[in-house]
């Protein structure tokens, strides 16, 4: 199973965070996961590609990660990713449902199983796109 980490700052230039730090990557690799990170994803958080490589990650382009990863990790919901997801891929992200309701609804339509925090924090009258 391949976990792909995408660069946040490629979409939002103010974003300096990265979804996983090298220490977390190393732990995942030790447990048998393959981890790929987009080149430069950690640079604004002071984690150069070399630290990720030492931790066991493959440094790849965004296109290669989107094509190869089983699980995609990103902190900020990137609506452009929704149309690029392939069957069987999982997206782990922090989605602002008030801002991206339509995109999230479209993203959840083709999947048979999904988890959304709203399921556990749902209002008395859930919206159709809440799982």
Residue with tokens 């999230």: 104
Average pLDDT, the chain: 81
How sure is the predictor about 114, in pLDDT bands with cuts at 50, 70 and 90? very low
Measured between alpha carbons, how far is 22 from 59 in angstroms, rounded to an integer? 12
- 70 conformational bin, left if phi > 0, alpha if psi -120 to 50, beta if neither: alpha
pLDDT at 14 over 70: yes
Q: What is the pLDDT of residue 68?
A: 94
Q: Say what the pTM is.
A: 0.75
Q: What is the pLDDT of residue 131?
A: 46
Q: What tens digit of pLDDT does each residue of 63-73 get?
A: 999 999 999 88
Measured between alpha carbons, how far is 17 from 11 in angstroms, rounded to an integer? 12
Could you report how far apart the first and last alpha carbons of the chain are, in Å?
Answer: 25
How sure is the predictor about 130, in pLDDT bands with cuts at 50, 70 and 90? very low
Measured between alpha carbons, how far is 91 from 24 in angstroms, rounded to an integer? 18
Q: What tens digit of pLDDT does each residue of 77-95 get?
A: 776 777 787 888 888 877 6
Please report the domains of the chain, with CATH numbers, ordered by start residue.
2-94 (3.40.50.720)
| Cα distances (Å, whole numbers) of residue 102 to 34, 41, 92, 124 | 32, 27, 18, 21
Measured between alpha carbons, how far is 95 from 111 in angstroms, rounded to an integer? 17
């Amino acid at each position: 199973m391949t976990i792909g980490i995408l660069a946040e700052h490629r979409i939002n230039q103010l974003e300096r965070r990265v979804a996983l730090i090298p220490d977390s990557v190393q732990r995942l690799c030790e447990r048998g996961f393959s981890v790929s990170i987009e080149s430069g994803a950690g640079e604004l958080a002071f984690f150069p590609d070399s630290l990720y490589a030492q931790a066991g990650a493959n440094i790849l382009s965004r296109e290669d990660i989107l094509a190869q990863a089983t699980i995609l990790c990103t902190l900020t919901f990137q609506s452009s990713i929704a149309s690029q997801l392939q069957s069987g891929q999982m997206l782990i992200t922090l989605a602002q449902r008030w801002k991206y309701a339509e995109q999230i609804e479209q993203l959840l339509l083709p999947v048979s199983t999904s988890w959304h925090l709203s399921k556990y924090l749902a209002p008395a009258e859930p919206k159709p796109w809440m799982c």
